[in-house]
A and B are shown apart, each in its own frame.
Chain A
Amino acid sequence: MHRIDLFPTHEYQGLKLRAGRPYPFGATVFGNMVNFSVYSRYATDCTLVLFHNREEKPFIEIPFFKEFRLGNVFSMIVFDLDYENIEYGFRMDGPYQPEEGHRFDKSKILLDPYAKLIVGRDVWGQEPNWDSAYQYRARVVLDDFDWEDDQPLETPVNDLIIYEMHVRNFTCGAAAGVKHRGTFAGIIEKIPYLLELGVNCVELMPIHEFDEFENARVSPVDGRQLCNLWGYSNVGFFAPKAAYASSGRFSMQVDELKNLVKRLHANGIEVILDVVFNHTAEGNEQGPYISYRGIDNKTYYMLTPDGHYFNFSGCGNTLNCNNPNVRDMIVESLRYWVTDYHIDGFRFDLAAILGRDQNGNPMSNPPLLESLAHDPILGKTKLIAEAWDAGGLYQVGSFPSWGRWAEWNGKFRDSIRRFLKSDPEVLGDVKERITGSPDLYASQKRGIKASVNFVTAHDGFTLMDLVSYNNKHNEANGEDNRDGEDNNNSWNCGCEGHSNDPDINRLRHQQVKNAISLLMVSQGIPMVLSGDEMGNSQQGNNNAYCQDNEIAWLDWNDLERNADIFRFFKRIIRFRRLHKVLRYEDHLSYSDYHHTGYPDISWHGVKAWEPETGHNNLTAAFMLNGQYVGTGDAADDFIYVAMNMHWEMHGFELPQLPQDMSWHVFANTGMEPPQDISEPDEEPLIENQHEVLVGPRAIIILVGKKRR
């Protein structure tokens, strides 16, 4: 049978047309036809503008005839287009009344908000033609990648070890040793490295199309070119960043990114995308027309009563996330990334904004967040909120979740950092963080899986800088060191920045090991900042968003320079993966409800079973009972962690184990390598089964198991 509706009904300047399908929005290929569809509530007229690839002048502009409109949607089918050699945009006509929220301007050629392939910034740093009337150009894409039997991995949330990374920074450094530096393909070349490190999930900082030239300038301090390296400024919500693909110059970024996901999946590594739905690259009233402003300003942006842009993002505008149509766009974008790119999860930048109503007020049951929590396609997709925004809304512990949303646990970061620098006021809080923050998540029954734990993330100091600087040093960003977080809870170990003092450097390494130890023995989902495993430094810059140079690029020589740190990371990550008792899904009970003789978790002081015993609130120990994650052979070991953030050595009395078991030492951050950590499952027996001496600012991890 042949369909009878596949014949043109109109002809315009030689091109054959017919009324399109309003849905789906965007450009969709079927057979020898391309369906173009765009929504605008307030536009009065629309024109489809077609270019041959990279040409400045369109070869045709086709009006959407009256019969090509349904409701507020303009849609048309164009026949026999050589869609690999077509770029398209729209002109929208309508009122220009900024005070009413309308900014239509039919002189502008606008990007499709649903564009799946965007060209114009195809090779990183290649100067664009600024005179071009159409800068970010939509192309039509075929969605027929051959995934074979790949699907999102659906790794249990509590088993994840997330590695937060930036596509370009990861392999751009000269010593990265890859062929395709700074690209998706470069990450593929580093899969063996990721496997060696032991992480099972990469969280990619924004990979939606953005413009690295946005706010480009020369640093007044060192004369270097500064650019938008991080990409927290979306040009399109459906298109991958072309210049992150080594094949971007051939417009093959879609296939290259899909291949990356497929290869990572084949190696058991999930992919989470950091998505920025809180604002766009169009900025405030002075910003450019890229898409949304000209397509339907009043729909896409949160506006003040007099038509100005609300700025809850700190970036000039705020996406109108709880407008029903914008909400649909966000849901469709996420579905698209899951369906077409097999993405495993999302981390939502400044997610508190997603819960504000159209006037900017926080809602108790934000429809967007509820839609995402209940969406059928996103049903097993990880949803992680950065639960605050630049407008002062802080929702760590209270982000509306419907049992589905996890949060970046900013309180984990703050408490652990303060503990590391021997702040005596924080031990009570640290205990909550280590046990999966029951104070934040237990009452809502969100479980431990609601807490993404981290000590460092892209915002702020790297781990090595956290122990090397008291203050941020962002002068090179050219903003008089005003940008970036001031409250870092960091301690430089006795000297600001680089030091040749071996004692200081030894202590810094020890503190790095303390930090990763606390992260890996805490309940919750650990997230490691890329580069921390090799002691990466940004020379004290805690906001390297614009430093497309060796400040932000990983220096792979660090792997050798800080070999003990890398070794420590690998082993403690493997330790966590081996021990289920470190990866509970729900909060612990502090009781022995299975009658094993020991509670599931117990706190201790320098005296066993007496948590109140200690020094200056800087010493504590806890024990996890492996019999609570399984019985018989499925039982895990006992794990005992003694933490001494005091500057003096202390003896910790050990809890007595069941008769056939004894304590073995897995890690002691106070020891010089190679005694600082052993191979997981090959821990040596300790001689004294009654007490361990924990050095100044050190952590000891013991495993209680049957003697070999």
Chain B
Amino acid sequence: MNNIESYRLGKELDSFNYQEVQDCILAILDKGYCAVLDMTDCTYVSSTGLRVLLYSKKVAASKGLNFLLVGVSNEVKDIMEVTGFNNFFESFSTMEECLESIK
């Protein structure tokens, strides 16, 4: 099983912070670790933010790694559903659930 590392998002993911978030997730994947994005505090993901998520997922897949989401709020879930981005991700309510599933 691969190692896992998580990254905890702040309140928003948009064009103001996407670069930093993207870099951090890629750094985890570059180590050969699966990445878990903890979105518990996040209530808004912009169009750019959605692209960070999907890009991360695709990079992870190209390395044979997982990229998982945890604690997606209802607001963000809504945005992801209506734009179809939800279809690309495995998502868990809590970190424990997430870790349990990939044991």
Contacts and interface: CB of A to CB of B under 8 A. Distances in A.
A245 B84 contact: no
A258 B84 contact: yes
Contacts of B54: 146
A250 B84 contact: no
Interface string A220-257: 00000000000000000000000001110011100110
A184 B83 CA distance: 10
A484 B85 CA distance: 43
Interface in B37-93: 44, 46-48, 50-51, 54, 78-79, 81-85, 88
A425 interface: no
Contact of A84 (B47, B85, B88): B47
A29 to B, nearest CB: 11
B46 to A, nearest CB: 6
B82 A245 contact: yes
Interface string B13-50: 01110000000000000000000000000001011101
B15 A247 contact: no
B84 A262 contact: yes
A183 B15 CA distance: 26
A85 B49 CA distance: 13
Contact of B51 (A144, A185, A251): A144
Q: Which of B50, B51, B81 has the most CB of A within 10 A?
A: B81
A375 interface: no
Given A84-B15, A85-B15, A184 B82 contact: yes
Contacts of A255: 47, 50, 83-85
Nearest to B45: A250
A248 to B, nearest CB: 10
Nearest to A179: B78
Nearest to A188: B82
A263 B78 CA distance: 16
Interface residues of B, number: 18
A284 interface: no
Contacts of B78: 246
B51 A142 contact: yes
A256 B82 contact: yes
A180 interface: yes
A592 interface: no
Given A82-B15, A142-B51, A144-B51, A180 B82 contact: yes
Contacts, number: 50
Interface string A153-191: 000000000000000000000000000100111001000
Contacts of B46: 84, 250
Contacts of A246: 78, 82
A597 to B, nearest CB: 54
A564 to B, nearest CB: 35
A522 B96 CA distance: 61
B88 A252 contact: no
Interface string A488-521: 0000000000000000000000000000000000
Contact of B83 (A84, A85, A252): A252
Contacts of A258: 84
A255 B54 CA distance: 13
Contacts of A256: 82-83
A47 interface: no
Q: Which of A83, A144, A146 has the most CB of B within 10 A?
A: A146
Contacts of B88: 146
A335 B54 CA distance: 26
Contacts of A185: 81-82
A146 B14 CA distance: 19
A123 to B, nearest CB: 14
B81 A142 contact: no
A325 interface: no
Contacts of A180: 82
A652 B101 CA distance: 69
Contacts of B16: 82
A674 B60 CA distance: 56
B88 to A, nearest CB: 7
A259 interface: yes
Nearest to B54: A146
Contacts of B83: 247, 252, 255-256, 259
Nearest to B86: A259
Nearest to A117: B47
Contacts of A263: 84
B82 A251 contact: no
Nearest to B44: A250
Contacts of B85: 255
B82 A247 contact: yes
Contacts of A82: 15-16
B27 to A, nearest CB: 21
A183 B50 CA distance: 20
A81 to B, nearest CB: 10
9 contacts: A84-B47, A142-B51, A245-B82, A246-B78, A250-B44, A250-B46, A252-B79, A255-B83, A256-B82
The 3 lowest CB-CB distance pairs between A and B, nearest first, are A259-B84, A255-B83, A84-B15
Given A82-B15, A144-B51, 18 more contacts: A83-B15, A84-B15, A84-B46, A142-B47, A184-B82, A245-B82, A246-B78, A246-B82, A247-B82, A250-B46, A250-B47, A251-B47, A252-B47, A255-B50, A255-B85, A256-B82, A256-B83, A259-B82
